[in-house]
Amino acid sequence: MNRNTLAKALQGLIVLFIGVVALAAFFVIPNLYWFFMEWPDVEAIQVNMKVIFAIAEVLLAMFAVALVIIIDLLNMFSKDLTYTEPFTNKLRNLSVMCGISSVIISGVGLNILFRRANIPYSSGILAGILVVLALVMIVGVVIALIRTIVIEATEYKEENDLTV
């Protein structure tokens, strides 16, 4: 298949996925919030739960921004602008966003770990947080590796006046 066709197909899938993220942000997370707020023993940790759900919304917003950056990267890829400085800057922004998300997810996980006696289903929540944390860290490292490869290929191209 043509690189433009593949890029456009992936862009379409990412746009659909942004719709799923919006559904989660505006429907799933608020419903989960009210489920936990109506739990019988939640009065002791009500403020803590509000903060956790606000952080979940912030992480979803960061994820939506990352998806938009990926769509922009795919546009650059289809226009054959892969080996440029703006492309590598956007890759760096993605890896930084993964690092920031990892710190936020770690903080929420530690918060739930220290208060797990009062939080319903805390073991399942912690397991989910650890899986998501591992995935975000792996994706961040892979993006940083791809950025390094693109930078080295660009430097090699400039040194030898090659077309990549």
pLDDT, mean of residues 66-92:
92
Q: For residue 133, is pLDDT > 90?
A: yes
Q: Model confidence at 74, in pLDDT bands (50, 70, 90)?
A: very high
pLDDT, mean of residues 155-162:
78
pLDDT, mean of residues 35-62:
78
> What's 76's DSSP letter?
H
pLDDT, mean of residues 26-40:
80
**Which pLDDT does position 34 carry in this prediction?**
80
For the chain, give the mean pLDDT.
Answer: 86
Check: CB of residue 101 under 8 Å from CB of residue 62. yes
Name the token pair of 130.
Answer: 């650890």
SS3 121: coil
Check: CB of residue 146 under 8 Å from CB of residue 91. yes
pLDDT, mean of residues 122-143:
91
**Residue of higher predicted confidence among 72 and 114:** 72
**Residue of higher predicted confidence among 46 and 17:** 17
| Dihedral sign (CA 16, 147, 95, 134) | positive
